[in-house]
Amino acid sequence: MLREIVLENKSLKEDYKWMHPCYTFEGKNIVLIHGFKDYCALLFHKGALVRDTKGILIQQTANVQSARQIRFTNVEQIIKLQSVIKDYIKEAIEIEKSGKKVEMKKVSDYPVPEEFQKALDEDATLRGAFHSLTPGRQKGYLFYFSQAKQAATRITRIEKYYQKILEGKGLDD
């Protein structure tokens, strides 16, 4: 049913990305349909910019900066929100046409754990390699290192990924 609603908008092209139906406008991702154990969802890639007049857009986690989703646990919810879904899709396309971008956090907005700062201060090679990484890779490491509650865990993580940083690789490379 979600697919039928999305495809009513003739300006969207259907594709499959991340193993899910993804709908694009002029090659730009607009909305994705995905399923989970307890619900299915319509994910708006620039959902943070969509005016959520009905208060139905959900930020999946505190770390998701751009995407927002509408979750459904039954078909009746989809039927009830059909016109709202269409309006949100139209707005998402207009946002893409306008060229608006979501203001993403900068690397400097992420805390640098004390243990990693010490390693950077003491190791010029590590410091140079880290600052040569793409901003996304830098953010990934800073976020991952910061999530550890104990200093010993942060140190272990830093040691584990030391060589990958030197090789210019990200956490998942």
Tell me what pLDDT residue 104 has: 86
| Residue 154 and residue 148 in contact, taking contact as beta carbons nearer than 8 Å | yes
77 with 126, same domain: the answer is no
| The residue to which tokens 């994910």 are assigned | 43
94 with 111, same domain: the answer is no
Is 117 part of any domain? yes
| The residue to which tokens 């319509």 are assigned | 42
| The residue to which tokens 């030391």 are assigned | 162
| Residue 159 and residue 128 in contact, taking contact as beta carbons nearer than 8 Å | no
Is 58 part of any domain? yes
| DSSP per-residue codes, 27-47 | TEEEEEEEE-SS-EEEEETTG
What pLDDT digit, counting tens, does each position of 54-99 carry? 999 999 887 788 999 999 999 999 999 999 999 999 999 999 999 9
Is 47 part of any domain? yes
| The residue to which tokens 């201060």 are assigned | 121
d(CA 164, CA 87): 45
Range(s) of the domain holding residue 64: 2-98
Structure pTM? Answer: 0.75
Residue type, 35: G
Which residues does the chain have with pLDDT short of 70?
A: none
The dihedral built from the CA positions of residue 31, 65, 113 and 136, taken in this order, carries a sign that is positive
Tell me what pLDDT residue 61 has: 83
93 with 28, same domain: the answer is yes
